[in-house]
Structure 1
Amino acid sequence: MPDAASLPAALGRSFEAVLLDMDGTLVDSTPSVERSWLRWCTEHGVDPRRLAGSHGVTARNLIADLLPPAQHESAYARIVELEVGDVAGTQLLPGALELLGALRDAGVPTAIVTSSNRELARARLEVTRLPRPSVVVTADDVARGKPFPDPWLLGATRLGVASADCLVIEDAVAGLRAARAAGCGGLVAVPTTTSAEQLEAVADLVVGGLTELRLDLGDGRARVLPGPGRPGPAPRGPVSA
């Protein structure tokens, strides 16, 4: 990716806390996700093509768009069963372990904010042996998951930090829009599951991966440093989810 000589205005400051998405940002769960949802679609008579563009959306919100209300609870229980029972191939993404370790060592308040439910998040964290920060927000912790702002707001609240003072790292458009609606101060995207072009429309900066993200963690705060990346659009107000 081209070098960003200067950072977008939204990133020209330090942040008190860092909020991280999990799937597609810290861990690669794509093989498990694809196997589980394809089987779920077969069992429920859903065309898998209807799942296109749904990455980052909670299973409950997705199922609500696919099936009639009478089937929601049983269909949700089934996808949880399938995904928790199949974590084969789930692995850490490059730079995830190093990033979490650096944030911990620098004393930067950090939270994982995921669309997975509590049981699935635990299974994926355990199989990858990813260090668990003090705060993990899952789909079970909020009434409305991504693409609504509630998970990011809860993550900031549990860290005792205003959302405006949080740096978000995410890989999905739905998650980025949710973070923008939550008023999070800076949005960095990684194109692991979504094209850089799509992410640029929502994020402040797109980097090729966590290994390309350069942070200054002095004084227990996080500041994004110029480096490889693609700036997003000009600053704008919150986006409604």
Structure 2
Amino acid sequence: MDGTLVDSTPAVVRAWTTWAEEHGITAEQLAGNHGMPAASIIARLLPDAERERALARIVELETTDVGGVVPLPGTVETLTVLPRERVAIATSCTRPLAEVRIGASEIPRPEVVVTVDDVERGKPAPDPFLAAARDLGFPPERCLVVEDAPAGLSAARAAGCATLAVTTTTPRAELEADLVVGTLADVRWHVRDGGIEVALAD
């Protein structure tokens, strides 16, 4: 969702900057964690005794600041063209944060939304995409994952899904996917009885 469907970068930066300053974490220590669940990031940075309170604090910061959360190019068109029952969001956000950002961005909400709260392991483990495929009623190999981060693409490949990457947050050279485009505005979707075709925009 974040960096793929919606641009939440200003809010994310504000929240994590505040959190890092409060916990004595440097920007260098935070780097390279995009697309991973907050709990996983915190587990890499803080001792066990501090993690529960630290997680509660970042959840508070992120859910109360949605200023500037907007759809990325092509998102609204994509979610309007594709049938809601054939689309899922699989995000590293918690359930409350996902709902807040979906609401703030005003994007069409798919019927299936899988959050880090719904799985045992978050990205880069395949669990979020396996859960989304299950809830949609399709085998993973019949699903296409759209991602902006290496951790998410690793999760998609591990799940057996096809991959489409957007370069909204990560340089093209760092994205290993079946197809890489700038944003969802660069593709067109064609709904068929047997599936959905994706093609490059003219």
Tell me the TM-score range normalised by the shorter chain. Answer: over 0.9
Counterparts of 1:205 and 1:181, CA distance in 2:
17
Residues 117-162 of structure 1 show CA distances to partners (whole Å, capped at 9, x for unaligned) of: 0000011011111111110000110111111110000000111111
> Are the aligned partners of 1:108 and 1:217 in contact in 2 as well (CA < 8 Å)?
no
Q: What is the letter of the counterpart of residue 166 of structure 1? A: C
1:130 aligns with 2:130: no
2:97 equivalent among 105, 120, 133: 120
Task: State the 1:64 CA deviation.
Answer: 0.5
> Are the aligned partners of 2:185 and 2:201 in contact in 1 as well (CA < 8 Å)?
no
Residues 154-204 of structure 1 show CA distances to partners (whole Å, capped at 9, x for unaligned) of: 0001111111110111111100001101111x10000000001111xx211
Q: What is the letter of the counterpart of residue 174 of structure 2? A: Q
1:89 aligns with 2:68: yes
1:98 aligns with 2:86: no
Taking structure 2 as the reference length, the TM-score comes to 0.96
> Are the aligned partners of 1:213 and 1:227 in contact in 2 as well (CA < 8 Å)?
yes
Counterparts of 1:48 and 1:61, CA distance in 2:
17
> Are the aligned partners of 2:85 and 2:111 in contact in 1 as well (CA < 8 Å)?
no
> Match for residue 131 of structure 2?
154
> Match for residue 167 of structure 2?
191
Judged with a 3 Å threshold, the aligned counterparts in structure 2 of structure 1 residues 101 and 220 are, in CA distance, closer, same or farther, namely farther
> Are the aligned partners of 2:164 and 2:180 in contact in 1 as well (CA < 8 Å)?
yes
Stretches of structure 2 that go unaligned for 5 or more consecutive residues are none
Counterparts of 1:182 and 1:189, CA distance in 2:
16
Taking structure 1 as the reference length, the TM-score comes to 0.81
Q: Percent identity?
A: 54
Counterparts of 2:22 and 2:130, CA distance in 1:
35
RMSD: 1.3
Report 1:18-97 matches (<5 A): 22-97=1-76
Structure with more helix by fraction: 2
Counterparts of 2:145 and 2:137, CA distance in 1:
16
Q: What is the letter of the counterpart of residue 37 of structure 1? A: W
User: Residue 214 of structure 1: SS of its match in structure 2?
Assistant: strand
> Match for residue 139 of structure 1?
116
> Are the aligned partners of 2:186 and 2:200 in contact in 1 as well (CA < 8 Å)?
no
Counterparts of 1:183 and 1:95, CA distance in 2:
25
Residues 200-234 of structure 1 show CA distances to partners (whole Å, capped at 9, x for unaligned) of: xx211101111101222122621222557xxxxxx
Counterparts of 2:61 and 2:25, CA distance in 1:
16
Stretches of structure 1 that go unaligned for 5 or more consecutive residues are 1-21, 229-241
Q: RCO higher in 1 or 2 (8 Å CA, sep ≥ 6)?
A: 1
